[in-house]
Chain A
Amino acid sequence: MAAELGGALAAVSLHDDYVTAAYLVLFALLLIYLAVMATKLARLERELAELNELADNRPPVAPAGAERQGEPARDSEPVGAGESAP
């Protein structure tokens, strides 16, 4: 009787393990996906900070159409405007 009960409990426990394993698969997939997305986000943040720094170090640009007093009007255009991709 005790042996039968033990066998039944072992079977239930084994089936529990299978169900747990199946749900852990989904959890693991989600976790891996989140880790990949976090890495991508960190890279984007790093690049953005780098570009921000680059933009800060650029010389200030006069607004288009602005004229200095006593100077003739110049064809001024913001740096980068009209640039085409390399």
Chain B
Amino acid sequence: MLTVLVLSAALALVFFYAPDDADQGFVQRIFYIHVPLAIVALGGFVVGAAMAVAHLRTRDPRWDMRSYVAIHLALVLAVGVLITGAIWARAAWGVWWDWNDSTLVSFLIIFLLYATYQPLRFAIEDPERQARYASVFAVVAGVFVPLNFMAVRLAQAYVHPSLGSAKNLPGSMRLTFLVSLAGIALLYATLWKYEMTSKYASAQLRALRRKLGAPDATARRSAAPALPPAAQGTV
């Protein structure tokens, strides 16, 4: 409910409150969706890495499940970042993609890196080994995200608007941006919770099926973590 309220408020602010940008005009409103999506997606990858660390420390498969869902959702948001970014680039620069822009290319590298996460999981049949290798991958890739971000920022001057420029926004634009960021972050958290609930419900159903001696028609190789009955619980 809070997510719906904040997202609705963000949309209202974007279209009825925030002024047009002096340089780009109306098209700058893509900023209020593109940048929060990017921040939350990158944050999701880092959160996934932190959860993977917890899994490696505790060997609790629930942390692997949490990490998997966090990365999976961040990847979905990253698709949104790439598409909205391309649309904005076309409107502002006249091109869909600029290979000379280090921010664009670095984000694409991160996206492609995480695009290998699910195939990696799927390639490993043993659930315990799958969880361990996936966690190691999530930690290494999660460390790479901020490092890559900083390296790009320290590089030569570029045309891509930086987060630093967001600090210099006028009050109305900054408020709109912050509400949009909160809305997207809440959306991410809500979807994470829904997905976790769905995964636990599936695992409990599988356990119930085994107890009742029913054949498990849904049992198949999967990239998603398999929770043993003992590890099932609340989100």
A→B interface (CB under 8 Å) = 12, 14-16, 18-19, 21-23, 25-26, 29-30, 33, 37, 40-41, 43-44, 47-48, 50-51, 54-55, 58, 80, 83, 85-86
Contacts and interface: CB of A to CB of B under 8 A. Distances in A.
A47 to B, nearest CB: 5
A83 B214 CA distance: 13
B198 A41 contact: yes
A37 B210 contact: no
Contacts of B202: 40, 44
B205 A48 contact: yes
Nearest to A86: B210
Is the contact region of chain B dominated by helix, strand, or loop, or is it mixed?
helix
Contacts of A19: 26-27, 29-30, 91
A51 B205 contact: yes
Contact of A15 (B26, B76, B83, B209): B26
Given A22-B87, A80-B213, A85-B210, 5 more contacts: A15-B26, A19-B29, A29-B76, A48-B205, A83-B213
Given A41-B198, A44-B198, A47-B218, A22 B30 contact: yes
Interface of B: 11, 25-27, 29-30, 33-34, 37, 76-77, 79-80, 83-84, 87-88, 90-91, 187, 191, 194-195, 198, 201-202, 205, 207-214, 218, 229
Contacts of A80: 211-213
Contacts, number: 79
Contacts of A48: 205
A54 B214 contact: yes
A12 B201 contact: no
Contact of A83 (B29, B30, B91, B211): B211
A21 B34 CA distance: 12
Contacts of A55: 212
B214 A50 contact: yes
A51 B87 CA distance: 48
Contacts of A33: 76, 191
B198 A26 contact: no
A25 B201 contact: no
A37 B197 CA distance: 11
Nearest to A44: B201
A25 B30 CA distance: 11
A15 B25 contact: yes
B214 A18 contact: no
B187 to A, nearest CB: 8
Contacts of A15: 25-27, 91
B77 to A, nearest CB: 8
Contacts of A25: 80, 83-84, 87
Contacts of B195: 37
Nearest to B202: A44
A46 to B, nearest CB: 10
B84 A22 contact: yes
B104 to A, nearest CB: 16
A16 B205 contact: no
B212 A29 contact: no
